[in-house]
């Protein structure tokens, strides 16, 4: 049996397409910081790389635990009440905005708990972006 991936092109107006292209070109040449993006507006969903990687690390641990327990994504979806496709995107790292609540919900369904801790910033790191509402 061959698995086919079905992708659908984004439905954008010509103006939206032009803006996306202009933004991509700008990001490639100028490499704006998160602080600059947030200051100019329109980028409220930006997640600092450190936060994104930390969430991905936790999600990888949850995936490994699911596999260790021999659970399918369908079974985990039934336990969490979440959509199976959403769980798959989370495990594949294709869900950009993973919340702590979501990670905790998946961990609970696996009989685990996510533990949070504070660490010192590496020396030379920029001041983190203030918390969003």
Instruction: Name the token pair of 95.
Output: 């869900």
Low-confidence ranges of the chain (pLDDT < 50): 133
Here the CATH number for the domain that contains residue 85 is 1.10.260.40
The pLDDT value given to residue 96:
66
Residue 59 lies in a domain: yes
The pLDDT value given to residue 74:
94
Residue 83 lies in a domain: yes
Q: Give the Å distances, CA to CA, from 28 to 10, 21, 38, 47, 63.
A: 21, 11, 17, 18, 33
Residue 117 lies in a domain: no
- Shared domain for 38 and 57, answered yes or no, is no
The pLDDT value given to residue 106:
95
DSSP secondary structure string for all residues of 44-74: TT---HHHHHHHHHHHHHHHHHHHHTT--HH
Residue 34 lies in a domain: yes
- Shared domain for 37 and 65, answered yes or no, is no
- Shared domain for 89 and 104, answered yes or no, is yes
The pLDDT value given to residue 62:
95
Contact 99, 122 (CB under 8 A): no
Model pLDDT for residues 34-69, shown as the tens digit of each residue: 777 778 776 666 677 778 888 889 999 999 999 999
- Shared domain for 53 and 41, answered yes or no, is no
Mean pLDDT of the chain: 82
- Shared domain for 104 and 53, answered yes or no, is yes
Contact 77, 88 (CB under 8 A): no
Counting the structural domains of the chain, the total is: 2
- Shared domain for 35 and 61, answered yes or no, is no
Contact 46, 97 (CB under 8 A): no
Provide the greatest CA pair distance for the chain.
52
Query: Domain range for residue 54?
Result: 49-109
Q: Is 46 exposed, middle or buried (0-12, 13-18, 19+ CB in 10 A)?
A: middle
């Amino acid at each position: 049996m061959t698995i086919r991936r079905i992708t659908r092109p984004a439905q954008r107006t010509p103006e939206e397409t032009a803006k996306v292209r202009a933004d991509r070109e700008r990001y490639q040449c100028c490499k704006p910081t998160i602080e600059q993006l947030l200051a100019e507006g329109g980028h409220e969903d930006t997640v600092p790389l450190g936060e994104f990687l930390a969430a991905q690390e936790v999600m990888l641990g949850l995936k490994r635990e699911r596999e260790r327990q021999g659970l399918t994504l369908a079974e985990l979806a039934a336990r969490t009440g979440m959509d199976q496709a959403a769980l798959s995107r989370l495990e594949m790292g294709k869900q950009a905005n993973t919340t702590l609540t979501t990670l905790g919900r998946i961990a609970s369904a696996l009989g685990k708990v996510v533990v949070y801790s504070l660490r010192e910033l590496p020396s030379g790191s920029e001041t983190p972006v203030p918390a969003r509402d």
